[in-house]
Structure 1
Amino acid sequence: MPQESTVIKKNILIVDDHPFIIQGYKNAITRYRPTEYEFLIDQAKDCQSGYEVIVNPESPSFDIAFLDISMPAYVEKGILSGEDLAIVLMERMPKCKIVLLTMFTEKLKINTILKNINPNGLIIKNDLTFDELLFAFDRVIKNEKYYSQSVLEMLSQMQHVPIEIDQFDKKILFQLSKGTKVADIPQYVPISSSAIKRRMEDLKVLLELKDGSDEELVKVAKSKGLLL
């Protein structure tokens, strides 16, 4: 008698603040080789609910995670974006393949994502179609990297790494964007006031603002995709 084929089970996490996008991902994933794979899908709608799923001891160990970059923040835990959520996921489930999705088309932002996260997949949402998502999923599930066409074009244009910022810089910019006074930022970012001021000056130099105001720093950081 012929042996029955074994269906491979994969645990998938999707985190996006647009329900119709989550549904689109689910529709594509469940149509991928349905006789070979069974996909068990968990979903979350923002940084907080995504974080809670990831750290929940009852959650499965995820095989693949689709994370939107720009989502409502979970300020209490310092999770300001899908990038931060990816870092948590990498620490807790290092074998999970991470696919990041974004509307950003700024070269600096894309370079920062690749440098800090090095995801298995990076997709500009404007590139995304149903067939493209299936193709990306096929590449990732086969342990290959997948970058959408716009990402590849930006990478080909990059001659050098222009700017990189770390998690402290991101948190400083986030607090400034909320209107937090510089003197109060140490309550939210665990470094000294002098270090915060020095980092702000360095950011202004990097963004070619020099003597620009804090408000202008926030505005330019947003335009460069450094602040969501």
Structure 2
Amino acid sequence: MNKLKNLTVLVVDDHPFTSDAYINLISKEKDENSFKFVKETNCETAFNSIQFMLKKGKKLDMALLDINLPPYEKGRILSGSDLAVLIREKFPKCKIIMLTMHTEPLLLNKVIKTINPEGFISKNDIDFTTFPNIFFKIKNGENYFSPTINKSIQALVGKTLNWDEYDTQIILLLEKGIQTKDIPNYIDISLSSVEKRKASIKRQLAEQKITDNELITLCKKLKLI
């Protein structure tokens, strides 16, 4: 019989009832893992929990973070987004799911550019049935942006992103495993142009350095390819 794999999940929401609902819905689903939940309600206690895990050499597998949280000004952690940036730095393998009621494209885009979460969910898009399905998809390696998030981001991307058919072809070729240096063999464009376009795309979509594979994943999330 396979031994259960223990996964630690940090859940941070300033409404305890909401956190309890997430935890109960996840716990009710049969899975090959057992879950240890760490529940916090603000940035300060969440920050302290993260520091405790680091001090004890513990791992953090997944994080469910509301964007709007009571801030921890002393630690300069003012939102769930700031917590996510800290988690990305300290637990790079942790899968981050951001949850929000916000629909403002610029705010949502900022979260994507700074964090590139595995999941980004509008609370208006989930219910007791859909949430656990989405959670386990992300846990098993899929990426998921909910419809409201995608709609808001697509509206912004259409207005601001400098994107054309060459960019689409470059990303699709990278997805197929074609190396950057070989892309000019497939489309009528020079290597220097390919490199400039790829760098421009990365700069527009992410504030941190990302690999080609991360770029492909992000383009898929944003439905650019």
**Which residue number corresponds to residue 146 of structure 1?**
144
Listed as ranges, the gaps of 5+ residues in structure 1 are 163-228
Give the 5 Å matches for 1:86-97. Answer: 86-97=84-95
- Of residues 3, 8, 16, the one that matches 1:6 is 3
TM-score of the aligned structures, taking structure 2 as reference length: 0.67
Give the Å deviation of 1:161.
3.8
Q: Which residue identity lines up with residue 64 of structure 1 in the other structure? A: M
Give the 5 Å matches for 1:6-45. Answer: 6-34=3-31, 36-45=32-41
> What's the Cα RMSD here?
1.5
Bigger mean CA deviation after superposition, 53-62 or 153-162: 153-162
Give the Å deviation of 1:128.
1.8
- Alpha-carbon separation, structure 2, partners of 1:119 and 1:32: 23
Listed as ranges, the gaps of 5+ residues in structure 2 are 162-225
Conserved? CA contact 1:111–1:161, under 8 Å: no
Structure 1 counterpart SS, 2:47: helix
**Which residue number corresponds to residue 83 of structure 2?**
85
Structure 1 counterpart SS, 2:56: coil
Conserved? CA contact 1:53–1:59, under 8 Å: no
The CA deviation string for residues 173-223 of structure 1, in whole angstroms up to 9 with x for no partner, is xxxxxxxxxxxxxxxxxxxxxxxxxxxxxxxxxxxxxxxxxxxxxxxxxxx
Give the Å deviation of 1:32.
2.5
Bigger mean CA deviation after superposition, 84-93 or 53-62: 53-62
Give the 5 Å matches for 1:181-192. Answer: none
- Alpha-carbon separation, structure 2, partners of 1:15 and 1:105: 20
- Alpha-carbon separation, structure 2, partners of 1:161 and 1:73: 31
Give the Å deviation of 1:160.
3.8
**Which residue number corresponds to residue 103 of structure 1?**
101
TM-score of the aligned structures, taking structure 1 as reference length: 0.66
Aligned length: 158
Q: Which residue identity lines up with residue 49 of structure 1 in the other structure? A: T
Instruction: Specify which structure has the higher proportion of helix.
Output: 2
**Which residue number corresponds to residue 155 of structure 1?**
153
Q: Which residue identity lines up with residue 134 of structure 2 in the other structure? A: A
- Alpha-carbon separation, structure 2, partners of 1:115 and 1:49: 26
Give the Å deviation of 1:62.
0.8
Give the Å deviation of 1:136.
1.4
| Structure 1 consecutive aligned stretches of length 4 or more whose deviation exceeds 4 Å | none
- Alpha-carbon separation, structure 1, partners of 2:124 and 2:139: 22
Give the 5 Å matches for 1:167-178. Answer: none
Q: Which residue identity lines up with residue 8 of structure 2 in the other structure? A: N
Please say if 1:123 is aligned against 2:121. yes
Give the Å deviation of 1:59.
6.9
- Alpha-carbon separation, structure 1, partners of 2:160 and 2:110: 9
**Which residue number corresponds to residue 50 of structure 1?**
46
- Alpha-carbon separation, structure 1, partners of 2:149 and 2:110: 12
